[in-house]
């Protein structure tokens, strides 16, 4: 037999193998609807399906994935057996990242599995799905065939995010799993930006889907979990990677800008709700995580710094103004007053530095009477003027003295209305 004959026979048998798997799938589907199932046959079907998955390669993966999908979607197998199959899928994905079409087929399996309550209500199974999901996101980042699978990846992300929130995992203390996804995926996706421009789109889509779902259920998530989640997101979205930021061509590609804009809309929603615990949490995040406050110098070398400063500044300003206009909600004996004062001070320092040192007009579009320092100053004046809370009045006075140096210029323009307060 010469090579050509051999190849033709080999291809013919490959075709038969495909038809054999299709016929197996047809029989499996029929058996799923059969009422008098026996354990022996179920075991045989499982054994053969597992076998098919183990020997699968590019040429038969489409057929095999349909068998696996049907089997996972049925109640034929025990959870343990389904789990074993999923573990096999995970291993397969790790070994076969370059097999674009096959991974694409696998995405369909995972989209389907993420709708299966067996897998999303049980912690162990949920983690398994999560790990597979991460493998697929990695694939999307590294694959050169990425664009072909883009639509499916987005679908999968949507299905997954929806599931993540509908089962209310955050309330069940699974916030760490979400953190794990971000910790594992996003930094790598950011790094791959250098290699693959599309990877950044993945991160952005991932981020927006995540926030879409988060905004819908934000007030149902416990404050402590929410804070943990935001803190880990801020840690991941670190600004200390100037190389990455300098490579970005436009603002829309910058993940941090996308992130801070979405965080802004979340914080607006929280402020509008008037829920004190949640609002305090936003203030804490502003103080602990905002570069504008913690490390304004780090912004200097970054591309699109003006947009970053603007977004962070607006969030900080909104939260500060909330506290100033709702003094009744401030309990002077508790932390928020101290934190608020710290925030005001830091914000002012950053404001002065940014405007004077870096020549950044953080509030260029705002009229002078509505500028940050003027507004803050007028609010402080009102608090002092009302004089209904001695502890708060005292703290505001201290704060004004602390701020005095930085505010001196602004102070002069407000002297008329604030004489009494300062002295």
Q: Is 42 near other proteins (CB under 8 A)?
A: no
Name which of 56 and 314 has its Cβ closer to other proteins. 56
Q: How far is the CB of 133 from other proteins (least distance, A)?
A: 25
Q: Is 31 near other proteins (CB under 8 A)?
A: yes
Q: Is 34 near other proteins (CB under 8 A)?
A: yes
Give Cα separations from 55 to 20, 59, 172 (angstroms).
Answer: 14, 11, 39
**HEC profile of 165-185:** HHCCCCCCCCHHHHHHHHHHH
CA distance 38 to 40: 5
* Neighbour-count burial for 80-98, b at 16+ CB within 10 Å, e otherwise: ebbbebbeebbebbeebbe
Q: Assign residue 304 a region (left: φ > 0; alpha: ψ between -120 and 50; beta: otherwise).
A: left
Q: How far is the CB of 91 from other proteins (least distance, A)?
A: 11
Q: Which of 4, 36, 387, 416 binds other proteins (CB under 8 A)?
A: 36
Name which of 89 and 302 has its Cβ closer to other proteins. 89
Name which of 30 and 423 has its Cβ closer to other proteins. 30
Pattern of binders to other proteins over 5-24, x per CB under 8 A?
Answer: -x--xx-xxxxxx-xx-xxx
CA distance 244 to 47: 48
Window of 29-37, 102-110, 198-206, 226-234 that interacts with other proteins by CB under 8 A? 29-37
What is the length of the chain?
A: 423
Window of 32-40, 314-322, 326-334, 350-358 that interacts with other proteins by CB under 8 A? 32-40
Which has the closest alpha carbon to 320: 280, 260, 266? 280
Give Cα separations from 261 to 252, 375, 393 (angstroms).
Answer: 11, 23, 34
Q: Is 78 near other proteins (CB under 8 A)?
A: no
* Neighbour-count burial for 55-76, b at 16+ CB within 10 Å, e otherwise: ebeeebbbbbbbbbbbbbebeb
Name which of 41 and 401 has its Cβ closer to other proteins. 41
Q: How far is the CB of 143 from other proteins (least distance, A)?
A: 18
Q: How far is the CB of 76 from other proteins (least distance, A)?
A: 13
Q: Is 94 near other proteins (CB under 8 A)?
A: no
CA distance 147 to 281: 39
Name which of 58 and 123 has its Cβ closer to other proteins. 58
Q: How far is the CB of 50 from other proteins (least distance, A)?
A: 9
Phi then psi for residue 14, to 5 deg, are -65, -40
Give the pair of three-digit tokens for residue 134: 């991460």
Give Cα separations from 188 to 135, 192, 320, 423 (angstroms).
Answer: 12, 6, 35, 56
Maximum pairwise Cα distance, the chain: 106
Name which of 44 and 240 has its Cβ closer to other proteins. 44
Q: How far is the CB of 278 from other proteins (least distance, A)?
A: 53
Q: How far is the CB of 156 from other proteins (least distance, A)?
A: 26
CA 224 to mean position of chain CA atoms: 17
Name which of 102 and 320 has its Cβ closer to other proteins. 102
Residue matched to tokens 């074993």: 84
Is residue 242 within 8 Å of residue 193, measured between CB atoms? Answer: no
Q: How far is the CB of 95 from other proteins (least distance, A)?
A: 9
Q: Which of 4, 27, 132, 278 binds other proteins (CB under 8 A)?
A: 27
Q: How far is the CB of 73 from other proteins (least distance, A)?
A: 18
Q: Is 91 near other proteins (CB under 8 A)?
A: no
Name which of 145 and 402 has its Cβ closer to other proteins. 145
Name which of 22 and 393 has its Cβ closer to other proteins. 22
Residues in 43-72 that interact with other proteins by CB under 8 A: 44, 48, 51, 54-55, 57-58
CA 269 to mean position of chain CA atoms: 17
Window of 40-48, 208-216, 224-232, 284-292 that interacts with other proteins by CB under 8 A? 40-48
Interacting residues with other proteins (CB under 8 A) = 3, 6, 9-10, 12-17, 19-20, 22-24, 26-27, 29-31, 33-36, 38, 40-41, 44, 48, 51, 54-55, 57-58
């Amino acid at each position: 037999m010469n090579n050509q004959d051999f190849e033709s026979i080999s291809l013919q048998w490959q075709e038969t193998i495909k038809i054999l798997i299709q016929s197996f799938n047809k029989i499996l589907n029929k058996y799923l609807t059969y009422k008098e199932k026996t354990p022996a046959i179920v075991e045989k079907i499982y054994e053969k399906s597992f076998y098919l998955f183990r020997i699968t390669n590019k040429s038969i993966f489409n057929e095999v994935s349909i068998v696996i999908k049907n089997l996972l979607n049925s109640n034929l197998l025990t959870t343990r057996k389904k789990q074993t199959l999923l573990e096999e899928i995970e291993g397969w994905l790790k070994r076969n990242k370059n097999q674009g079409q096959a991974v694409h087929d696998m995405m369909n399996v995972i989209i389907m599995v993420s709708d299966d309550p067996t897998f999303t209500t049980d912690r162990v199974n949920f983690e398994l799905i999560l790990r597979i999901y991460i493998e697929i996101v990695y694939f999307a980042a590294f694959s050169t065939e990425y664009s072909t699978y883009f639509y499916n990846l987005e679908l999968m992300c949507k299905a997954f995010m929806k599931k993540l929130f509908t089962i209310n995992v955050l309330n069940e203390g699974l916030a760490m799993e979400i953190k794990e996804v971000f910790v594992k995926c996003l930094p790598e996706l950011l790094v791959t930006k250098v290699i693959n421009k599309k990877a950044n789109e993945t991160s952005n889509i991932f981020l927006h889907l995540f926030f879409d779902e988060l905004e819908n259920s934000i007030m149902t998530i416990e404050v402590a979990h929410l804070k943990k989640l935001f803190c880990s997101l801020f840690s991941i979205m670190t600004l200390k990677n100037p190389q990455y930021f300098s490579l970005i061509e436009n603002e829309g590609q910058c993940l941090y800008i996308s992130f801070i804009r979405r965080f802004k809309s979340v914080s607006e929603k929280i402020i509008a709700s008037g829920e004190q615990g949640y609002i305090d949490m936003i203030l804490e995040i502003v103080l602990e995580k905002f570069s504008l406050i913690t490390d304004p110098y780090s912004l200097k070398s970054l591309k699109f710094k003006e947009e970053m400063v603007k977004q962070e500044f607006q969030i900080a300003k909104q939260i500060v103004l909330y506290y100033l206009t709702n003094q009744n909600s401030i309990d002077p004996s508790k932390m928020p007053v101290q934190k608020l004062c710290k925030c005001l001070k830091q914000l002012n320092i950053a404001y002065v530095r940014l405007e004077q040192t870096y020549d950044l007009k953080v509030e260029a579009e705002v009229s002078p009477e509505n500028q940050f320092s003027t507004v803050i100053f007028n609010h402080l004046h009102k608090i002092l003027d009302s004089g209904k809370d001695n502890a708060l009045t005292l703290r505001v006075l201290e704060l004004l003295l602390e701020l005095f140096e930085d505010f001196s210029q602004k102070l002069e323009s407000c002297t008329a209305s604030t004489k009494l307060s300062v002295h």
